[in-house]
Amino acid sequence: MAKRKNSTRRRLDRERAAQSERKDYEYHLPVMLDECCDWLITDRNGLYADGTLGGGGHTAEILKRLDVGGRLISFDADPVAIQHCTARFSDELSKEGGSRLVLRNANFFEACSTEEIHLRKVNGLLLDLGVSSRQLDTEHRGFSYRSNTRLDMRFGTEGRSAEEIINAAEEDEIERILRNYGEEPFARAIARRITERRRAVPLQTTQDLRFIVEETTPQSTHAKTLARVFQAIRIAVNRELEILDGTLRGIIPLLAPHGRIVVMSYHSLEDRIVKTVFKEESERDFKNGDNLPRLKTLTPKPILPSEKEIQENPRARSAKLRVAERTSLDDVPIFKKKAKFQE
């Protein structure tokens, strides 16, 4: 009898855990969760930053792996993510004796000016770039051409929306956005049609933009063109590429020796920036012998999700994971120790 009661309790516990996991992942199913955390955490009592909190999938796993002395600052520009995670991590956040977790409704660029990170130095920064499934699926955010809503596309509430940019930017500027951030072959024609149309009526909704793209480009390419155009405008609205480049370079002097930068990107423009910064910082001035490179690239080739993960989560299919580590005088041959350790 007691045996049966125990097994029923265990089954109910398992079902409850699975149910709560499903609820946690309704917001966003984290990509390469174990891989990211295996690379990120080198000291269980260290200080870490998750720049892209989202639904908190990676934050939850990092917390699981940290000891009591560990600390995690998680950023998201989107107040909805902060609200969701304030509820999700309410136990941790209200822990007696102090929480290991701090949530910040801010751009991850602010990690570079966070006092605690300056004082203590950070053992790892994780960036899981782009939008969350919740943001994509929330109609009124305007990220998807399948919705019919105002053209917003901001991660947070600050800065110019897509509507403001599309209605105010010069034709050349729109063309540049579409070409540089979407690699869009019909950039010129679409930019021209946008500026012609807005002279009559300003563009307001995702469907206004969709109609212009569909009118201007061959039908057989509509799905791909729409994806590229929406991606390009989202990147411009959130200044995603400048912020990524600035954060990667800005965090280097704030990394503890052997502290890591772990970045998951989802398109070639992001990946190129990560690869370039890691490469430049790993080779920097090394040949002259007077300055040490500030980073060591730990993943010469990007790590990709497994077939199984892609099947279970198709949004993982374009993910690329790259990791670099802060250099330290300890790993430099003795004859080079006179070299300057760059801040």
Please select the residue that binds ligand SAM; options are 35, 78, 163, 175, rule is CB under 6 A: 78
Give the per-residue contact string, 125-154, with ligand SAM (x = CB under 6 A; - = no): ---x-xxx----------------------
Please select the residue that binds ligand SAM; options are 108, 145, 181, 186, rule is CB under 6 A: 108
- Smallest gap from Cβ 43 to ligand SAM, in A, equals 21
Looking at the Cβ atoms of 190 and 262, the one nearer to ligand SAM is: 262
Count of residues near ligand SAM by CB under 6 A: 21
Looking at the Cβ atoms of 33 and 189, the one nearer to ligand SAM is: 33
Contacts of ligand SAM in 201-260 (CB under 6 A): 243
Residue 76 makes contact with ligand SAM by CB under 6 A: yes
- Joined tokens for residue 168: 């105010």
Looking at the Cβ atoms of 28 and 100, the one nearer to ligand SAM is: 28
Asked if 274 contacts 282 with a C-beta cutoff of 8 angstroms, the reply is no
- CA-closest candidate to residue 130, choices 323, 316, 329: 316
- Smallest gap from Cβ 173 to ligand SAM, in A, equals 21
Residue 124 makes contact with ligand SAM by CB under 6 A: no
Looking at the Cβ atoms of 55 and 293, the one nearer to ligand SAM is: 55
Return the exposure string of 216-227: e unless at least 16 CB atoms fall within 10 Å of the residue's CB, then b: bbeeeeeeebbe
Looking at the Cβ atoms of 30 and 293, the one nearer to ligand SAM is: 30
- Smallest gap from Cβ 142 to ligand SAM, in A, equals 14
Spell out the SS3 assignment of the chain.
CHHHHHHHHHHHHHHHHHHHHHHHHHHCCCCCHHHHHHHHCCCCCCEEEECCCCCCHHHHHHHHHCCCCCEEEEECCCHHHHHHHHHHCHHHHCCCCCCCEEEECCCHHHHHHCHHHHHHCEEEEEEECCCCHHHHHCHHHCCCCCCCCECCCCCCCCCCCHHHHHHHCCHHHHHHHHHHHHCCCCHHHHHHHHHHHHHHCCCCEHHHHHHHHHHHCCHHHHHHHHHHHHHHHHHHHHCHHHHHHHHHHHHHHHEEEEEEEEEEECCHHHHHHHHHHHHHHHHCCCCCCCECCCEEECCCCCECCCHHHHHHCHHHCCCEEEEEEECCHHHCCHHHCCCECCC
- Smallest gap from Cβ 56 to ligand SAM, in A, equals 6
Give the per-residue contact string, 41-60, with ligand SAM (x = CB under 6 A; - = no): -----------x-xxxxx--
Looking at the Cβ atoms of 187 and 263, the one nearer to ligand SAM is: 263
- Smallest gap from Cβ 104 to ligand SAM, in A, equals 9
- Smallest gap from Cβ 284 to ligand SAM, in A, equals 25
Contacts of ligand SAM in 23-42 (CB under 6 A): 28, 30
Please select the residue that binds ligand SAM; options are 32, 63, 81, 153, rule is CB under 6 A: 81
Looking at the Cβ atoms of 55 and 70, the one nearer to ligand SAM is: 55
Interacting residues with ligand SAM (CB under 6 A):
28, 30, 52, 54-58, 75-78, 81, 107-108, 128, 130-132, 155, 243
